[in-house]
Amino acid sequence: MTNVIEQLINGLRTGSIYALIALGYTMVYGIAKMINFAHGDIIMVGAYLLYVFIDIFKLPIILSVVLTIVMCSLIGVFIEKVAYKPLRKAAPLSVLITAIGVSFFLQNASLLIFSANPIKFESIIKVNAVHIGNVSIAGITIVTFIVTSIAMVLLTSFIKYTKTGYAMRAVSEDKGAAQLMGINVNRTISITFAIGSLLAAIAGILFLSQYQSLKPTMGALPGIKAFVAAVLGGIGSIPGAMLGGLALGVIESISKAYISSQLSDAIVFSVLILVLLVKPTGLLGKNFIEKV
């Protein structure tokens, strides 16, 4: 029993990181109607930035974390401006291929700068484990839960109550009508990329603190799993991304513990196929017919 609970907690920890990343996929999809496959690599960029600030420039931890998040945001906005904005009117397939290109570019740029050898990194999170009965919860797990919960509450309130949040929801529903309200659609898309990349940077920092090792492809797998999470929850839906992320984390951790650790990735990706077959709109996605 204790074991099951610990596995569940592990699953929720990984799942909440997936959820943070999935939010970026789902928000960008909602507003720009594109799958940003380079999104996962922002995690890697964030991890390397944190490493550079802390281990190379020897900056204080808090400052490094803030700088990492800000820089990832700016990089996200920059990528959108340079790679995706010129394709606003292009076919969806061109945009998708461009996103994959950006992903390769980011991975190879870091390969060039840092080489393929994994770099060790000492976790910046030093919180003691907590024991409840027989169950022990690692410090990193507690910090991950707190950080992701705060991020999700802030994001939800931002979208629900601020003027920019209103604008984001309006643009995701109808760009033309949003423009008639006086909303600057390009600016709103930039803000969405900034927020998505900010969340990916936080995910990158938490991910690095957990695995304590860097390599240029480290963002690819969590990125693609978070994409599965976003589809599972219903792409375009923010609560869906949160739920999908947590569900996927638990599925992964349970299958690692009780089915097979080698097959766990396969099981996770089978979830994607299953969702696409049974309920393509995802758990919380809406069943709407696109008007022609």
| Residue partners of 10: CB distance under 8 A and separation at least 6 | 141, 253
Nearer to another protein, 60 or 86 (CB): 86
Nearer to another protein, 175 or 256 (CB): 175
Tokens of 179: 């423009």
Q: Please provide the distance, in angstroms rounded to a whole number, between the alpha carbons at the two ends of the chain.
A: 53
CB of 34 to another protein, least distance (A): 20
The residues pairing with 213 across neighbouring beta strands, listed in sequence order, are 120
Q: What is the DSSP letter of 130?
A: E
CB of 172 to another protein, least distance (A): 9
Nearer to another protein, 49 or 178 (CB): 178
CB of 35 to another protein, least distance (A): 21
CB of 176 to another protein, least distance (A): 5
Nearer to another protein, 71 or 171 (CB): 171
What are the residue ranges of helices labelled H in the chain? 2-32, 39-51, 61-79, 92-114, 139-161, 163-173, 175-180, 185-211, 220-233, 238-258, 264-278
Coil, strand or helix at 166: helix
CB of 284 to another protein, least distance (A): 13
For residues 16 and 231, the answer to whether their CB atoms sit within 8 Å is: no
User: How far is Cα 145 from Cα 8, in angstroms, rounded to an integer?
Assistant: 13
Binding site for another protein (CB under 8 A): 163, 166-167, 169-170, 173-174, 176-185
CB of 175 to another protein, least distance (A): 9
For residues 57 and 71, the answer to whether their CB atoms sit within 8 Å is: no
To which H or E segment does residue 185 belong? Answer: helix 185-211
Nearer to another protein, 33 or 126 (CB): 33
Nearer to another protein, 183 or 194 (CB): 183
